[in-house]
Amino acid sequence: MTKKIVNKNFTFGFLFRFFLIGMFPPHVWTSLMVFNDLEFLSERTTMWDAVGYAGYSYLIALTESVLVALILWGVSFLLPKNWSQGRVLSVVGSIYFVLAGASIVDMTAHVFAQNRITKLYLIGLDRYPFVTYGLIAGAILVGIVLALVFILKSKQGEKIVSEVFDRIMLLSYFYLLFDFTGIVIVILRNVSENY
């Protein structure tokens, strides 16, 4: 009997599943920012410049998604080899989503600083940074622990998270269409500027 040398997670298909999971948060954020800024940019310059901004934004989100996928895939090799791919995706994906969610909340507070709750958050960052960052780290840690307990202590929990990620991966194909359109726009803009 030969010893299995290659980890079963060392496949392109598994990496691509991480890519689909990893691209969701950056693309949600990019879409929010593009739709938030599109009207302002089209009024300030031209609609073509606003479309170019959207194209470059999705190209950056695609690049970020590739890097995130490689990191998540690399982290998956640190987990027990006897875990199923579904469990590995659920655990790594859940940790990533907690971290990405915290990042999106922070960026939202800075972008939409006029709301009362975001003003309180920004004042906390400015006046009490140690306490505020401690609370943020605590909230992230609690979120990760709750996600891991939900997945690892319950087969039903693992199944629910796996099904949620399956739906997220399906939705991510839609964002791939945005990325492809963004690449075409960037190419058209660069070709038209050269002529």
State the amino acid at position 169 in one-letter form: M
pLDDT value at position 3? 45
Tell which wins on pLDDT, 156 or 132: 156
Q: What is the pLDDT of residue 7?
A: 60
Share of the chain above pLDDT 90, in %: 58
Q: So what's the pLDDT on residue 195?
A: 55
| Integer Cα distance of 57 and 27 in angstroms | 9
* Residues 55 and 182 sit within 8 Å (Cβ to Cβ): yes
* The pLDDT value given to residue 68: 96
Q: 122, 172, 175, 192: which is closest to 18 by C-alpha?
A: 172
Q: What pLDDT band is residue 121 in, cutting at 50, 70 and 90?
A: confident
More reliable by pLDDT, 184 or 46 = 184
The pLDDT of residue 111: 78
Q: What is the pLDDT of residue 2?
A: 44
